[in-house]
Amino acid sequence: MNIDNVKERFSSYLKAKGHRITNERLLVLESLCNNESHIDAENLFIKMRGRGLKVSRATVYNTLQLLLQSNLIKRSHFGESHHHYEPFLGGRQHHHLVCASCGKVVEFSSELLNRIQSDICDKHKFKFTGSAFQITGVCRECSEGK
Amino acid sequence: MNIDNVKERFSSYLKAKGHRITNERLLVLESLCNNESHIDAENLFIKMRGRGLKVSRATVYNTLQLLLQSNLIKRSHFGESHHHYEPFLGGRQHHHLVCASCGKVVEFSSELLNRIQSDICDKHKFKFTGSAFQITGVCRECSEGK
DNA sequence: TTCAGTGCAAACAATTTGCAGTATT
DNA sequence: AATACTGCAAATTGTTTGCACTGAA
C-alpha cells in the first residue's frame, strides 16, 4: 500500500462527497502516513510546519475528520486528554496494549477478536463500522523497575 | 451489590491510601451509582447541584479520579470529546457497542473476550489492569430509518 | 490543631468557529 | 465566476489549578 494509492483513495472519497481536493488535505494525509505510529493533531501540525508546509491547525483538524470518515485513518484515545491518529494502511485492524506506567503502546491483532466483534454486531443487529479495543496494564520493565 | 457496600469499599480505599473520607466524596459515588448508565462529569455535577447537594466541579473531577484509581468505576470515551463514567457495580466487565448514527449505547460482555485479553497480556508480559473495547456500528433502526 | 480537601474563579489544553481572503471547480 | 477551503485569532468545551477557607483526623 503506497502513498499514491492512499492519496488516490482519499481523492475519490472527497470527490464522491462533493468536497474539494486541496493540496493541504493531501499533505495532511501524506504527513500522517510518513509518521511512524500514532500522532496527535497538535504534533502533526507542528511537524508539518517544521517541514515548511504551510497549513493551519484548523485545516489539520478538518482534514483528520474527513480522513476518519473516509476510513483511511484510525483514532485512538489513550490515557491523555487528546486523540491519537494513525493511518489504516494495510486496512489491517489492530488494537492497543498500553502501559499505565510508562505509556508504551504495543499493537496487537487477533483473528478471534475480529470474529467476536462481528458476532456481537450480528447479535444486536448492528452494521459494523469500526472498533477500538484498548487494554491497559503494566509492562514488564515497569513492574520490575519499581 | 448495594450502595453501602460500595461506599464501604471506597472508604477503605481512601483510608488505605491516606486520603480523607469526606462527605462530598461519598456523595459523588452515591450520585454516580444512582444514575442509570453512563454520565459525564459536567452532568453529574449539574445533577448533584439540582438535587441540592453542595459540591464543586473540582471536587467532582477529583473524586472521579479517586474512584477510577480504586477501580470502583469505569471511564469510557464515545464519539464526543468528554468522558463518560459508570459504576463497576458487580465488578462485571462489560464493553460498548455504539451506534455511529444515533449514539445509542448497548453493553455487552464476553467470556471469550476476557480470555483473549489475558492471553494478550501474558504474551506481552503485561500485568492486566483494565480494558475498554468499543465497537462502532449502525443500529437497525438507523439503517432502516434512512 | 493540623493540613488535606473544598469551593470558586481563573488558567489551561484540545478543538471548533467566524470571517475575510484564496484557490478549486 | 462562484463558493468551498484556508489561515488566523477568538470562542468554546472539558478539565486542572491556585488560593483562602473549612472540616476530618
Phi, psi for B35 (deg, rounded to 5): -80, 135
List the single protein residue with the shortest CA to C1' distance from C4: B20
pLDDT at res. B91? 58
pLDDT at res. B103? 87
To 5 degrees, how large is the angle CA B74–CA B80–CA B82? 50
For residues A5 and A27, the answer to whether their CB atoms sit within 8 Å is no
Do the chains contact at A133 and B132, CB–CB below 8 Å?
Answer: yes
Q: Which chain A residue has its CA at the smallest distance from B111's CA?
A: A116
- B95-143 architecture in CATH? 2-Layer Sandwich (3.30)
pLDDT at res. A32? 97
- Where are chain A's structural domains? 3-87, 95-143
Report which DSSP code applies to A100.
Answer: T
Which positions on strand C lie below 7 Å from a protein C-beta? 4-9, 13-18, 23-25
Q: Where are the beta strands (DSSP E) in chain B?
A: 73-76, 84-87, 95-99, 105-108, 127-138
The answer to whether A58 CB sits below 7 Å from nucleic acid chain C is yes
Assigned C-alpha cell, A49:
510546519
List the single protein residue with the shortest CA to C1' distance from D15: B61
Q: Taking the CA of residue A77 as centre, how many other CA atoms within 13 Å lie in the half-sphere pointing to its CB?
A: 17
pLDDT at res. B54? 95
Helix (H) or strand (E) holding A95: strand A95-99
Residue B19 burial (10 A CB sphere; 0-12, 13-18, 19+) = middle
Tens digits of pLDDT across chain A (146 residues): 689 999 999 999 999 999 999 999 999 999 999 998 899 999 999 999 999 999 999 999 999 999 999 999 999 998 888 999 999 876 578 999 999 888 899 999 999 999 999 999 999 999 999 999 999 999 999 999 75
Assigned C-alpha cell, A127:
452494521
The Cα B40–Cα B48 span in angstroms is: 12
Tens digits of residue pLDDT in B64-113: 999 999 999 999 998 888 999 999 876 578 999 999 888 899 999 999 99
Assigned C-alpha cell, B50:
439540582
The answer to whether B124 CB sits below 7 Å from nucleic acid chain D is no
Point out the least confidently predicted range of A101-105, B44-48, B56-60. A101-105
The answer to whether B62 CB sits below 7 Å from nucleic acid chain D is yes
Q: Identical fold at B3-87 and B95-143?
A: no
The Cα A134–Cα B121 span in angstroms is: 11
> Parallel, antiparallel, or unpaired for β A84-87 and A73-76?
antiparallel
Report which DSSP code applies to B39.
Answer: B
pLDDT at res. A53? 97
Nucleotide nearest to B56 (CA to C1'): C7
Secondary structure class of B133 (helix, strand, coil): strand
Tens digits of residue pLDDT in B4-30: 999 999 999 999 999 999 999 999 999
Q: Which of B112, B125, B131 sits opposite A140 (nearest CB)?
A: B125
pLDDT at res. A1? 66
Percentages of chain A per state (helix, strand, coil), in multiples of 5: 45, 20, 35
Secondary structure class of A82 (helix, strand, coil): coil
Secondary structure class of A81 (helix, strand, coil): coil
Helix (H) or strand (E) holding A122: helix A111-123
The answer to whether B141 CB sits below 7 Å from nucleic acid chain D is no
Helix (H) or strand (E) holding A60: helix A57-69
Tens digits of residue pLDDT in A110-121: 999 999 999 999
Assign domain B3-87 to a CATH class. mainly alpha
The pLDDT of B29-45, averaged and rounded, is 94
